[in-house]
């Protein structure tokens, strides 16, 4: 026999449609600005996303994997953008995209789980910190109703912590009829424990509106925009993307991944309308990939990569890079792009400037374990 809690979950699930992967997590706060964190799980290859085509060692290290600069969008005299990022290139041209190269978290090993934990918690070593930097960011803002909503079966580590979190994981089941939802509401109206859970589920259902539950990139961007564009909707968001671990067949796989990311970002931009001008999207990965190609048409786990800031609020049209070079003596452990910029400094600067927070206070709150993180500045339009 189904328990009351099981029935509650079943009925609430019927209010929407399932979204398995990617997942999203949302936080709501009293601000008219939006900040979105897109994580690239699997270690995205920054050297083939923002291509150092003028680097003499690039082509020889990459061999057949090297991106032909004639097919890419030249960003400046040193870097070009992967040809699959068509809409992102347009946003760069209009000053709405900025790239930070040779960037990494403090993590220096090559475990996906450990690297993602460091990236999401803001610690300096795996499992050192028990909550996520995005949750701590939510706690810095005055909240209006729920501090955070996870639009996923589970809340990502970056959004776990003391700030209040609820979840919205719609299902592929048919929409529940209004009569059933009314009856369930009446059933739990006098239940002190289950009434708040049901009310939260119904609130999330209302935010989702008719955005649908298809998992293609355009639908994901539209769904995210349907939440973020509302006056009573969330202000912070996290979107998970996977599939960036390209040990083999890297060129076609990376091309498909980047096309999907590009489509999702464009759909998010279009869905947000005028709100896009107040939006910052940070795209980052747990670590990069080896500078040299491996023997199976791909690259292996590395260190330095590239991060992106995209949005109408971004002071873009630039590539920020203290470029270390790709000669053997320049590489980290003679194999990886050497990080010269801290991802924590980028996050602290982008988050604080995006949301109108004091940058040093934000850096301390988000990355206390890293010591005196100096936030990057000038990332967001004043």
Q: What is the pLDDT of residue 12?
A: 41
pLDDT reading at 11 higher than 90: no
Start-to-end CA span in the chain (Å): 58
Are 51 and 79 contacting, i.e. CB atoms less than 8 angstroms apart? yes
pLDDT reading at 141 higher than 80: yes
pLDDT reading at 15 higher than 50: no
**DSSP 3-state assignment of 310?**
strand
Q: What is the pLDDT of residue 123?
A: 95
**DSSP 3-state assignment of 275?**
helix
For residue 204, what pLDDT band results from cuts at 50, 70 and 90? Answer: low
For the segment 73-131, what is each residue's pLDDT rounded down to a tens digit? Answer: 999 999 999 999 999 999 999 999 999 999 999 999 999 999 999 999 999 999 999 99
Q: What is the pLDDT of residue 176?
A: 60
Lowest mean pLDDT of 32-46, 127-141, 170-184, 269-283, name the range.
170-184
Q: What is the pLDDT of residue 90?
A: 98
Q: What is the pLDDT of residue 382?
A: 83
Lowest mean pLDDT of 5-9, 111-115, 214-218, name the range.
5-9
Average pLDDT over residues 196-224: 67
Nearest to 314 by CA among 36, 86, 16, 57: 36
Cβ-Cβ contacts under 8 Å for 72 (sequence gap 6 or more): 51, 53, 80, 81, 82, 83
Give domain limits for the chain: 18-173+212-370
Average pLDDT over residues 301-319: 98
Q: Which fold has domain 18-173+212-370?
A: Alkaline Phosphatase, subunit A (3.40.720)
For residue 228, what pLDDT band results from cuts at 50, 70 and 90? Answer: confident
Q: What is the pLDDT of residue 199?
A: 66
pLDDT reading at 10 higher than 50: no
Nearest to 49 by CA among 381, 324, 337: 337
* Mean of per-residue pLDDT scores for the chain: 86
């Amino acid at each position: 026999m189904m328990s009351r809690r099981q029935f509650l979950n079943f009925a609430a699930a019927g209010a929407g449609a399932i979204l398995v992967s990617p997942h999203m997590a949302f936080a709501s706060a009293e601000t008219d600005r939006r900040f979105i964190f897109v994580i690239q799980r699997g270690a995205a290859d920054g050297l083939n996303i923002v291509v150092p085509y003028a680097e003499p060692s690039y082509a020889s290290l990459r061999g057949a994997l090297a991106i032909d600069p004639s097919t890419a969008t030249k960003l400046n005299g040193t870097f070009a953008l992967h040809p699959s990022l068509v809409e992102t290139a347009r946003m760069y041209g209009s000053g709405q995209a900025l790239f930070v190269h040779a960037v990494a978290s403090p993590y220096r090993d090559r475990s996906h789980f450990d690297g993602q934990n460091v990236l999401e918690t803001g610690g300096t070593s795996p499992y050192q910190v028990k909550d996520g930097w995005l949750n701590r960011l939510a706690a810095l803002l005055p909240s209006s109703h729920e501090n955070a909503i996870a639009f996923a079966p589970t809340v990502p580590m970056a959004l776990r912590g003391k700030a209040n979190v609820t979840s919205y994981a719609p299902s592929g089941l048919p929409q529940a009829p209004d009569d059933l939802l009314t009856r369930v509401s009446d059933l739990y109206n006098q239940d002190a424990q289950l009434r708040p859970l049901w009310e939260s589920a119904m609130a999330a259902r209302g935010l989702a509106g008719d955005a649908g539950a298809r998992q293609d990139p355009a639908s994901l961007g539209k769904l995210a925009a349907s939440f973020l564009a509302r006056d009573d909707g969330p202000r912070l968001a996290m979107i998970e993307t996977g599939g960036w671990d390209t040990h083999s067949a890297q060129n076609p796989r990376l091309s498909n991944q980047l096309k999907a990311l590009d489509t999702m970002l464009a759909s998010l931009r279009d869905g947000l309308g005028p709100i896009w001008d107040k939006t910052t999207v940070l795209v980052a990965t747990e670590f990069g990939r080896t500078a040299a190609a491996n023997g199976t048409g791909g690259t292996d786990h590395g260190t330095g990569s590239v991060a992106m800031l995209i949005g109408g609020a971004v002071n873009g049209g630039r590539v920020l890079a203290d470029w270390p070079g790709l000669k053997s003596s320049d590489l980290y452990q003679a194999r990886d792009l050497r990080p010269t910029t801290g991802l924590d400094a980028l996050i602290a600067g982008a988050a604080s400037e995006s949301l109108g927070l004091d940058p040093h206070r934000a850096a301390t709150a988000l990355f206390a374990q890293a010591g005196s993180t100096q936030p990057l500045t000038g990332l967001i339009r004043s």
